[in-house]
Structure 1
Amino acid sequence: MADPSVPTPPPMNPAAGNAASNASSGDASKPRNLADVLREFSEHQQKMRDELAKVIVGQTDTIEQLLAAIFTRGHCLLEGVPGLAKTLMVSTLANILDVSFKRVQFTPDLMPSDITGTQVMEEDETGRRSFRFVEGPIFANILLADEINRTPPKTQAALLEAMQERQVSVGRETHALPEPFFTIATQNPVEQEGTYPLPEAQLDRFMFNIKIDYPSAEEEEKILMATTRGESATVNKILSARAILNCQKLVSSIAAGPLVIRYAAQLVRATRPSDESAPKYVQELVDWGAGPRAGQNLIAGGKAIAAMNGRFSVEPGDIQKIALPVLRHRIATNFQAQAEGMNTDSVIQRLLSDIPIPEPAKMERSK
């Protein structure tokens, strides 16, 4: 039976959308059930991956996490040494979406008004003066904050309200940002001279902290072959802004059962050294752990992974798949951990292996 409450992502291409609808339901006028909607959503995200693969070689997990963030209204922080195509990946992602895109190169002299916008005084024909707000680059669907740790905290803080409330306050006025809105920031973890590390409050606003590693030998050969020919690949647009909003509603409707909720809560609570459920090594190696927002992001990210795989509900494996990017920037290890060669990723990996997946309660037989 069809569920009228389930939103259907409208296709970008009407002809392709009709073909997909006919193929899934047999009749374009027939209402589709959740299985049909999930199948179409899965096809759309696969098309997005195929388009990204025209430009980006490898980075499968990174692309999956970026798509999961987009479908759950999340923001991403990309970390990687120079030359790993962080900026190219974000700009290509913006090209396959029919949305506005702005890139801001963060520098030490960048001011908050350079991002949010400012008020300018204008004088009309009668000589009357008034202020008019001129929007900054943050008024875009996708904002690329390139090398965000290159700018002082005052300018970094200009993104806090925008990322959390999706609005900007200038003077006495509050201006809503366009929907959808995503902030994707990049930073170089190696060169730290003249940088301003992001405060914990702002790090917590990022749904994922994605670390991009070096490509494999085979992938590096493909990169060299593709980028030295003097040719550039052209990508096609897949989803519109309205379609993305509908996809977000669809992902939020994916079910997360009590066992998955309990597992996510146990993972998050185990990262806190003051919690009675925390293992001994967490109490010894961690200064402070993740807050409730980490659990919310685990569930939201798990829903996105489940939906992209065409499933109706979240599985514990989905939580495990995104635990690293969700938790790694919400845990602070101490000097003892550094002396033992342990970082946040090592602690999370150990927690994933030590904390068992909750088992469903056994039903008692009635006498």
Structure 2
Amino acid sequence: MTSSPDANDLALLDRLATARRELRHQIAQRIVGQAHVVDDLVTALLAGGHAVLVGVPGLAKTLLVQTVSQALDLTFSRVQFTPDLMPSDITGTELMEEEPGTGKRAFRFAPGPVFGNMVLADEINRAPPKTQAALLQAMQERTVTVAGRTYDLPRPFFVLATQNPIEQEGTYPLPEAQLDRFMFELTVGYPTREEEEQIVLSTTGATQGEVKPVLGAEELLQMQRLVRRLPAPPSLVKYAVHLARSTRPDAAEATARVKKYVSWGAGPRASQYLVLGAKARAAMDGRAMPDLDDVRSVAKGVLRHRMVMNFQAEADGIATESLIEFPA
């Protein structure tokens, strides 16, 4: 049974709610709009999850990730995924070195860009599956194994990937096993007319907004542990499990449309992320107890990339999100 938050936890909740407002302000120095994407990213970070951002080129996906890392004072690494990218280009490799004076030769491990707090996998679907799989162990276990030795990654550790949805030539769709390791799939849409005018004004001038750190790595780790400690009511857990099971065409909870259009639904990891996401949402508001609205607020981001649509859905033009229904 999870205990209620104590006085220290309540103080940390207040600090988190304040930090969220400060974080929004700092990100707004460079990013216009996209408030819901920022909130979803922060939710994933607090829950210790990874996220993939889907959007056409030019929507500042890379700049957004870099700005978040600066506002959280985290080390940032960017990997541009290309068809010739090798797994060792991500994880690192062993180099043969000769010791000065003795002439002895020994292998030294040279860490790759995955050894950062926040790793941006830019256009992740442009690299072949073998290279994509190099991130699997890192994302799940927060470790990397090279030449039989296992190395711990820095904490906190997040992988934020981007995908371009309009170019299919020269891309390799992410396998379901890797997609499942991303807590969220976030859709980055076009700005409004007013936002686009503001973007043009701010990016064609002589100055660029300065981003100041709001939190540090250690404080973020404390907040991650706080999110884990928040109690989840049994009714909320049942609701989250029901939502995840309702995406599976062979489950009793599935609707007729899910049975018709879905080949495979979300697994148990979706239920876990629905609860963790709800806890993180509550914590961001300074609340000690998540509710069903918190679950609903993260449901589409958690479920949309875990549902495999069939040919009938494609023929009928059915969008994945239209099949995610919220029972009363």
Calculate the TM-score normalised by the size of structure 2.
Answer: 0.96
Structure 1 letter corresponding to 2:50: H
Q: Distance in 1 between matches of 2:192 and 2:119?
A: 29
The match for 1:26 is none
List alignment gaps of at least 5 residues for structure 2: none
**Aligned-residue offset at 1:72:** 1.1
* 1:50 counterpart (6, 25, 31): 25
Does the Cα contact within 8 Å between 2:4 and 2:231 map onto a contact in 1?
Answer: no
Per-residue deviation, 1:128: 2.1
How many equivalent pairs are there?
A: 325
The aligned residue for residue 18 of structure 1 is none
What is the match of residue 87 of structure 2?
112
1:91 aligns with 2:66: yes
What is residue 177 of structure 2 aligned with on the other side?
201
More moved, 211-220 vs 81-90: 211-220
Contact 2:79 2:119 in 1 (8 A): yes
- Farther off after superposition, 290-299 or 118-127: 118-127
Residue 35 (structure 1) shift? 3.2
Identify if the C-alpha distance between structure 1 residues 322 and 5 changes in structure 2 by more than 3 Å, giving closer, same or farther. Answer: closer
Residue 262 (str. 1) matches residue 243 (str. 2): no
Structure 1 residue matching 2:160: 3-state secondary structure: strand
Judged with a 3 Å threshold, the aligned counterparts in structure 2 of structure 1 residues 33 and 175 are, in CA distance, closer, same or farther, namely closer
Counterpart residue type for residue 208 of structure 1: F
Distance 1:245 1:88 in 2: 23
Work out the CA distance in 2 between the residues paired with 1:122 and 1:35.
52
Aligned position for 2:300: 324
Post-superposition offset of 1:33: 4.5
**Which aligned pairs between 1:131-280 and structure 2 lie closer than 5 A?**
131-280=107-256
Counterpart-to-counterpart distance in 1, 2:10 and 2:48: 23
Alignment partner of 1:65 is 2:40: yes
Structure 1 stretches of 4+ moved >3 Å: 3-6, 32-35
Structure 1 alignment gaps of length 5 or more? 7-31, 357-367
C-alpha distance in 2 between matches for 1:212 and 1:116: 28
Indicate the structure (1 or 2) with the bigger Cα radius of gyration: 1
Separation of aligned partners in 2, 1:96 and 1:183: 17
Distance of 1:233 and 1:329 partners within structure 2: 34
**Equivalent AA in structure 2 for residue 212 of structure 1:** V
**1:123 is aligned to 2:104:** no
Query: Which digits, 9 at most, give the CA deviation of each residue in 1:328-352, with x for residues without a partner?
Result: 000011121122221211111xx12
Q: State the Cα RMSD in Å.
A: 1.4
Identity %: 52
* More divergent stretch after superposition (184-193 vs 122-131): 122-131
CA distance in structure 1 between the aligned counterparts of 2:10 and 2:272, rounded to whole angstroms: 25
Answer yes or no: is the 8 Å Cα contact 2:231–2:289 preserved in 1: yes
Separation in 1, partners of 2:284, 2:93: 40
> 2-side partners of 1:204 and 1:65: how far apart?
17
